[in-house]
């Protein structure tokens, strides 16, 4: 049972960087001395879910709660903890952040520790941190939650967790006496309970300077926080964990109250991490609410980006571009004295595919998509990131269509505006509807491979290695600046 003397420490675990070596011969020998990082390394990302969790705990439980962010305490430290021979390449899995031992004092002083595990590729680090905590203090109680925990809670009990939460955290479950490890949920916390996260518990607030898309443009003020005003998505995209989930919209007054909490805590920039923010614009009332919210964000001086992407097809209204909504979403101003940006600075556009577009009802016909992208090119956004997901059955035609489609978009971006752009190509992760697919490398032996930059499976037409190399060739052809950034582990825009 919990009491006022119960101490809970929420730990932000180190993240994972994957570095690949083995390019000594052949067409990628430019990387022979440097190797390449796969994707952007999340070094200075605020632990938003832990802040929300701490707020809930102190509101509903008789306990004191601290947050210890191992990642941001030493963001440039990398520790190789695993090396794998993958398809003839040497892959180093590196922990990014402070050593586990930095958490020893907090573990010894706590009755419970809590961990959020959202990404499968980080689950090996979470497992290792649980094992470390058990060695430091065998009696410690450990709770875990997050998207990956919800998808495979039994695995986290096997790692050594006492409670594995499916869905949202349930305070009542923690208040009950713990007799044996168990799965809790599914549970869904009321949306209004999430509007006051305990950002003040972060000891290194000004260090949160990155988004999931990496370094931000000049003029974006720090620190950067993550927020969402809607949750869930009824769309059917088979590669997404949020597919066909209940859609909720936070009431406008509550959304504004949340913004006030963020501002009071010192947050200057917002990453809007909604699953489908624009779905509320499907009806007149929701559209007005969204416009009012964006206006308030601007009045409060926030800068923002959309790292989860927007369903940009919603920007067409009665077969015309919704100029009012686009202005509210994407315009920005720059303070003439400080250079600080207010408004939007970056957008992720999920193009998803140039083949079989009828598989996803959210996608507009190509000609409509091009009209929308033309509008985005003229919007004044500093940066736009486009993304395509390669299916396991990708063949030469898939890569050819992706190249041709991206070159058309690139032509629009370079001729109709001065926005910097990135043209991303992702491998499918075996999650969502694909968790049961046959893989060449299991999640137990290589969870780090469950990311957008590795195929841990042979495709229908290419081996895993061939898929990997075809993607590298494609990036080199359509986005050479980003290709050159691979040795640094930071996305570049051109």
Give me the CATH number covering residue 405.
Answer: 3.80.30.20
The CATH number assigned to the domain holding 162 equals: 3.40.50.2300
Torsions phi, psi of 355, nearest 5?
A: -120, 150
- 157 assigned to some structural domain: yes
Residues 319 and 377 in one domain: yes
Residues 245 and 327 in one domain: yes
- 431 assigned to some structural domain: yes
Residues 226 and 180 in one domain: no
Report how far apart, in Å, the C-alpha atoms of 245 and of each of 95, 191, 235, 407, 443 are. 32, 15, 8, 34, 25
- 197 assigned to some structural domain: no
Domain that holds residue 336: 209-484
Residues 6+ apart with CB under 8 A from 472: 28, 483
Query: What is the DSSP annotation of 30-71?
Result: GGTTT-EE-S----S---HHHHHHHHHHHHHSSEEEEEEEHH
What CA–CA distance (Å, rounded) separates 170 from 184?
Answer: 8
What pLDDT is attached to residue 317? 86
Residues 281 and 407 in one domain: yes
Residues 167 and 264 in one domain: no
Residues 227 and 304 in one domain: yes
What CA–CA distance (Å, rounded) separates 34 from 483?
Answer: 13
**Final residue before a domain boundary, out of 135, 154, 187:** 187
Record the pTM.
0.95
- 266 assigned to some structural domain: yes
- 493 assigned to some structural domain: no
What pLDDT is attached to residue 259? 98
Nearest Cα to 144, choosing from 131, 135, 356?
Answer: 131
Q: Per-residue confidence of the chain (494 residues) as pLDDT tens digits?
A: 677 789 999 999 999 999 999 999 889 999 999 999 988 899 999 999 999 999 999 999 999 999 999 999 999 999 999 999 999 999 999 999 999 999 999 999 999 999 999 999 999 999 999 999 999 999 999 999 999 999 999 999 999 999 999 999 999 988 887 789 999 999 999 999 999 999 999 999 999 999 988 889 999 999 999 999 999 888 877 777 787 788 999 999 999 999 999 999 999 999 999 999 999 998 999 999 999 999 999 999 999 999 999 999 999 988 899 999 999 999 999 999 999 999 999 999 999 999 888 777 788 899 999 999 999 999 999 999 999 999 999 999 999 999 999 999 999 999 999 999 999 999 998 887 778 889 999 999 999 999 999 899 999 999 999 999 999 999 999 999 999 999 998 888 98
What CA–CA distance (Å, rounded) separates 224 from 36?
Answer: 27
Residues 248 and 392 in one domain: yes
Return the number of other C-beta atoms located less than 10 Å from residue 356's C-beta.
13
Residues 149 and 253 in one domain: no
Residues 383 and 479 in one domain: yes
**Final residue before a domain boundary, out of 154, 187, 220:** 187
**Final residue before a domain boundary, out of 187, 218, 250:** 187
What is the H or E stretch that residue 127 is in?
helix 123-136
Residues 125 and 227 in one domain: no
Quote the Cα angle for 363-323-227, to 5°. Answer: 70
- 385 assigned to some structural domain: yes
Chain mean position to CA 58:
26
Are 50 and 72 contacting, i.e. CB atoms less than 8 angstroms apart?
A: no
* Length of the chain in terms of residues written: 494
What CA–CA distance (Å, rounded) separates 289 from 7?
Answer: 40
Residues 296 and 168 in one domain: no
In 147-215, alpha helices (H):
147-151, 153-159, 171-175
What CA–CA distance (Å, rounded) separates 290 from 249?
Answer: 10
Are 267 and 225 contacting, i.e. CB atoms less than 8 angstroms apart?
A: yes
- 192 assigned to some structural domain: no
- What is the number of structural domains in the chain? 2
- 93 assigned to some structural domain: yes
Are 451 and 413 contacting, i.e. CB atoms less than 8 angstroms apart?
A: no
What pLDDT is attached to residue 179? 81
């Amino acid at each position: 049972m919990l009491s006022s003397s119960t101490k809970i420490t929420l730990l932000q675990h180190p993240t994972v960087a994957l570095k690949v070596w083995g390019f000594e011969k052949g067409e990628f020998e430019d990387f022979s001395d440097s190797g390449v990082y796969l994707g952007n390394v999340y070094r200075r990302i605020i632990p938003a879910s832990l802040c929300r969790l701490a707020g809930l705990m102190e509101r509903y439980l008789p306990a004191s709660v601290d947050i210890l962010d191992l990642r941001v305490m030493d963001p440039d430290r990398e520790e190789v903890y695993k090396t794998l021979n993958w398809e003839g390449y040497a892959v180093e899995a590196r922990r990014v952040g402070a050593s586990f031992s930095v958490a020893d004092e907090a573990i010894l002083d706590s009755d419970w520790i809590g961990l959020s595990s959202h990404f499968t590729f980080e689950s090996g680090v979470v497992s290792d941190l649980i094992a470390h905590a058990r060695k430091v203090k065998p009696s410690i109680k450990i709770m875990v939650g997050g998207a990956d925990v919800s998808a495979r809670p039994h695995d986290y009990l096997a790692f050594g967790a006492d409670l594995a939460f499916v869905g949202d955290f349930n305070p009542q479950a923690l208040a009950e006496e713990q007799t044996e490890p168990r799965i809790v949920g599914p549970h869904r916390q009321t949306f209004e309970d999430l509007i006051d996260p305990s950002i003040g518990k972060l000891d290194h607030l000004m260090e949160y300077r990155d988004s999931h898309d990496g370094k931000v443009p000049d003029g974006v003020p720090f620190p950067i926080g993550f927020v969402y005003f809607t949750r869930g998505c009824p769309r059917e995209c088979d590669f997404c964990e949020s597919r066909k989930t209940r859609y909720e919209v936070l009431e406008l007054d509550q959304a504004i109250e949340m913004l006030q909490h963020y501002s009071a805590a010192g947050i200057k920039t917002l990453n809007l991490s909604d699953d489908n923010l624009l779905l509320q614009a499907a009806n007149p009332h929701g559209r007005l609410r969204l416009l009012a919210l964006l206006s308030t964000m601007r009045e409060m001086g926030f800068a923002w980006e959309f790292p989860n992407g927007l369903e940009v097809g919603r920007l067409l209204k009665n077969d015309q571009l919704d100029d009012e909504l686009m202005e509210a979403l994407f315009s920005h101003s720059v303070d003439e004295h400080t250079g600080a940006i207010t408004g939007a600075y970056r957008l992720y556009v999920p193009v998803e595919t140039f083949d079989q577009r009828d598989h996803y009802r959210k996608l507009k016909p190509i000609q409509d998509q091009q009209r929308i992208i033309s509008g985005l090119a003229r919007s004044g956004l500093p940066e736009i990131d486009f993304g395509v997901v390669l299916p396991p059955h990708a063949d030469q035609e898939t890569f050819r269509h992706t190249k041709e489609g991206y070159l058309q978009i690139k032509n629009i971006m370079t001729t109709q505006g001065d926005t910097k752009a990135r043209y991303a190509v992702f491998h499918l992760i075996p999650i969502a509807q694909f968790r049961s697919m046959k893989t060449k490398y299991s999640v137990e032996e290589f969870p780090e491979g469950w990311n957008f930059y590795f195929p841990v499976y042979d495709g229908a037409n290419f081996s895993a290695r061939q898929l990997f190399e075809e993607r590298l060739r494609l990036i080199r052809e359509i986005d050479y600046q980003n290709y050159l950034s691979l040795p640094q582990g930071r996305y570049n825009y051109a």
